[in-house]
């Protein structure tokens, strides 16, 4: 029997991709899972497949989000909901894209954590899981998205300081490229979207990330898996590559 049997989890952004896969992983381990997302039809399919409880919520609706979460006894909160609007060129981004990305990726996470933490601290147990990104750890041409995920990185580190001695664990999961609907929602221009999606490597899939989340959550209570960074084998960050002109050593122009 899983150590998670009978506990209650909340997963945001649960209608597809990593969120849906995480709902499956946690319900398979005997958890009661509340799945939050905007798309009612997708949530209905997920409920049929897993038995999860569903809530049609846009996490940017702070009042609705807080009312829902403060009414639940939450053992595990998986902050998965996120967007990448304005991910391509910062100078070309619409101001509304900047607001949507920060409101979804940062502000909603703060409000969700703030809503569930009093109960967790009072009970002396709980687990916050925040979906970061390798874009929050390494320089990439994704200014606003990277800024939002960089905020998540520091949020988790500082939350661990705030919560030391309370019994509440905090984990950041930082995936690299994952084959999801991310770019479909992030980019309107079909040519740009195709150029960013079709890069010719074997990407992670949603189950890979959900398994990492489940590993952290299922760890023994005295073990806090603080940060998980995972990326495709064919992807990495750092270093500089120059295309070398063959005639350079011979002084040719």
Residue 125: give its domain's CATH number: 3.40.50.720
Q: Which of 143, 133, 81 is nearest to 237 (CA)?
A: 133
Supply 160's token pair.
């661990």
Percent of the chain at pLDDT exceeding 70: 83
Q: Which of 79, 61, 81, 107 is nearest to 180 (CA)?
A: 81
State the pLDDT confidence band at 135, using cuts at 50, 70 and 90.
Answer: confident
145 catalytically annotated = yes
Q: Which of 32, 145, 183, 237 is catalytic?
A: 145
Q: Residue 250's pLDDT is what?
A: 43
Range of 50's domain? 8-250
The answer to whether residue 33 is domain-embedded is yes
State the pLDDT confidence band at 30, using cuts at 50, 70 and 90.
Answer: very high
The answer to whether residue 2 is domain-embedded is no
Predicted TM-score (pTM) of the model is 0.87
74-88, 141-155, 169-183, 204-218, range with greatest mean pLDDT: 204-218
Q: Are 10 and 31 in contact (CB under 8 A)?
A: no
44-53, 83-92, 193-202: which has the minimum mean pLDDT?
193-202
The answer to whether residue 105 is domain-embedded is yes
The sheet with strand 227-230 has its strands ordered as 53-56, 32-37, 8-12, 76-79, 126-131, 168-175, 227-230
Q: With 50 as the cut, is the pLDDT of residue 57 above it?
A: yes
State mean pLDDT over 58-79.
96
The answer to whether residue 209 is domain-embedded is yes
The answer to whether residue 3 is domain-embedded is no
How many domains does the structure of the chain reveal? 1
Q: Residue 96's pLDDT is what?
A: 87
Q: With 70 as the cut, is the pLDDT of residue 239 above it?
A: no
Per-residue pLDDT tens over the stretch 182-237: 655 555 556 555 555 556 678 889 999 999 999 999 999 999 999 999 998 887 77
Q: Are 231 and 175 in contact (CB under 8 A)?
A: yes
The answer to whether residue 27 is domain-embedded is yes
Q: With 60 as the cut, is the pLDDT of residue 241 above it?
A: no
State the pLDDT confidence band at 141, using cuts at 50, 70 and 90.
Answer: confident
* Helix pair 108-123, 143-163: axis angle to 10 deg: 20
Contact partners, residue 162, CB within 8 Å, separation at least 6: none
State the pLDDT confidence band at 251, using cuts at 50, 70 and 90.
Answer: very low
The answer to whether residue 15 is domain-embedded is yes
> What is the per-residue burial (b if ≥16 Cβ within 10 Å, else e) of 150-166?
bbbbebbeebbeebeee
């Amino acid at each position: 029997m899983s150590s998670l049997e009978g506990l209650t989890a909340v997963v945001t952004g649960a209608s597809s991709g990593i969120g849906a896969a995480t709902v499956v992983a946690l319900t398979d381990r005997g958890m009661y899972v509340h799945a939050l997302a905007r798309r009612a039809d997708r949530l209905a399919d997920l409920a049929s497949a897993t038995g999860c409880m569903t809530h049609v919520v846009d996490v940017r609706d702070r009042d609705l989000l807080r009312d829902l979460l403060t009414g639940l006894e939450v053992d595990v909160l998986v902050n998965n909901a996120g967007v990448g609007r304005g991910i391509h060129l910062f100078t070309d981004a619409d101001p509304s894209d900047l607001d949507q990305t920060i409101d979804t990726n940062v502000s909603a996470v703060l409000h969700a954590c703030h809503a569930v933490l009093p109960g967790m601290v009072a009970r002396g147990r709980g687990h916050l899981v925040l979906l970061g990104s390798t874009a929050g750890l390494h320089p990439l041409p994704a200014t606003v998205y990277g800024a939002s995920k960089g905020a998540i990185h520091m949020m988790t580190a500082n939350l661990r300081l705030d919560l030391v001695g309370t019994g509440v664990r905090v984990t950041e999961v930082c995936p690299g490229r994952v084959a999801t609907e991310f770019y479909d929602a992030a980019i309107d221009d079909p040519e740009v979207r195709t150029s960013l999606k079709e890069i010719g490597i074997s990407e992670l899939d949603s189950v890979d990330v959900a398994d990492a989340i489940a590993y952290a959550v299922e760890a023994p209570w005295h073990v806090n898996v603080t940060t998980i960074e995972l990326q495709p084998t064919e992807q990495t960050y750092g270093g500089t590559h120059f295309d070398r002109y063959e005639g350079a050593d011979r002084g040719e122009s």
